[in-house]
Copies of this chain bind each other. A is one copy, B any other.
Amino acid sequence: MEVKVLSIQEDILGANKEKAARNRDRLDKHRILTVNVMSSPGAGKTSLILQTINMLKPKTRVAVIEGDVASRVDADKVHKLGAPVVQINIPGGCHLDANMTENALNNLSLEEVDLLLIENVGNLICPAEFALGEHKKVMLLSVPEGDDKAYKYPLMFTEADVVLVNKIDLLPYLDFNITALSQAATGLNPGVKIFPVSCKTGEGLEAWFSWLQDEIKQMKDHRSS
């Protein structure tokens, strides 16, 4: 028997876009660089956010929106570092959207924020389809997930401005070809930046911090011009 391939197209609501554009205008007005952080469950989003707050404070005032199906364990970790944080719980939901983001923005003191990190729900599919009003989309792919993920979840790789290949400390124990991953990712998205990092050991994170600081600077320079 040959392999049979069935293709089923589902409609996706586009009504989210207008609200996302309004969020973006609001964030622009306050000159808050806003980054939508996405990945599979357990790929290291929270670790990246905690490392980033620790590295950039106190010069850069970082705020965080935490999106989860349930629990506030990540928000509590961010809160311990002294950063303002809003937890959004979405029972039965699988991604943040622009409405939820607006709701969270209403609960932050925007005049006191330089960088807003939005940790999306752990999911490689739906979050890629819903703009929140962010300036940049960042995805983490962790080494244990395998180097074939760009073929299986192409939209996430197409949408991302930056791909952080996390948990490179595990490379000696796994069959993961970082060149193959990079080729697949840049094939889908020629302009994507790829940073191999370990949020556990800190290896490679300086490239991420440097990219982020450049983006924050551009946002601020725009204000003073």
Query: Shortest distance in angstroms between A73's beta carbon and chain B's nearest beta carbon?
Result: 6
Contact at A145–B91, with CB atoms within 8 Å?
no
Known contacts A1-B84, A94-B94, A124-B122; decide if A41 and B6 are in contact (CB<8 Å): no
Q: Assess the A69–B125 pair: CB atoms within 8 A.
A: yes
Listed in ascending order, the chain A residues whose CB lies under 8 Å from chain B are: 1-12, 40-43, 68-73, 75-76, 79, 84-94, 100, 103-104, 107, 109, 121-126, 129, 142-146, 148-149, 151-155, 167, 169-170, 173-174
CB neighbours (8 Å) of A107 from chain B are 4, 6
**Contact at A92–B12, with CB atoms within 8 Å?**
yes
- Give Cα A167 to B170, complex, Å: 12
Inter-subunit contact B152/A41 (CB<8 Å): yes
A189 to B127 Cα, complex, angstroms: 28
Q: Which residues of B contact A3 (CB under 8 A)?
A: 72, 75-76, 79, 85-87
A152 touching B6, Cβ below 8 Å: no
A109 to B2, CA, bound (A): 12
A72 to B5, Cβ gap below 8 A? Answer: yes
Q: How far is the CA of A120 from the CA of B116 in the complex (A)?
A: 34
Contact of A86 among B4, B73, B123, B143 (CB under 8 A): B4
**Known contacts A79-B3, A87-B3; is-contact A93 B145 (Cβ 8 Å):** no
The CA-CA distance from A88 to B8 in the complex, in Å, is 7
Instruction: List 15 other contacts, CB 8 Å, given A2-B79, A8-B93.
Output: A1-B109, A3-B75, A3-B79, A3-B86, A4-B87, A8-B88, A8-B89, A42-B146, A68-B152, A69-B125, A71-B151, A73-B151, A122-B125, A144-B167, A144-B170
B6 and A145: CB pair below 8 A? Answer: no
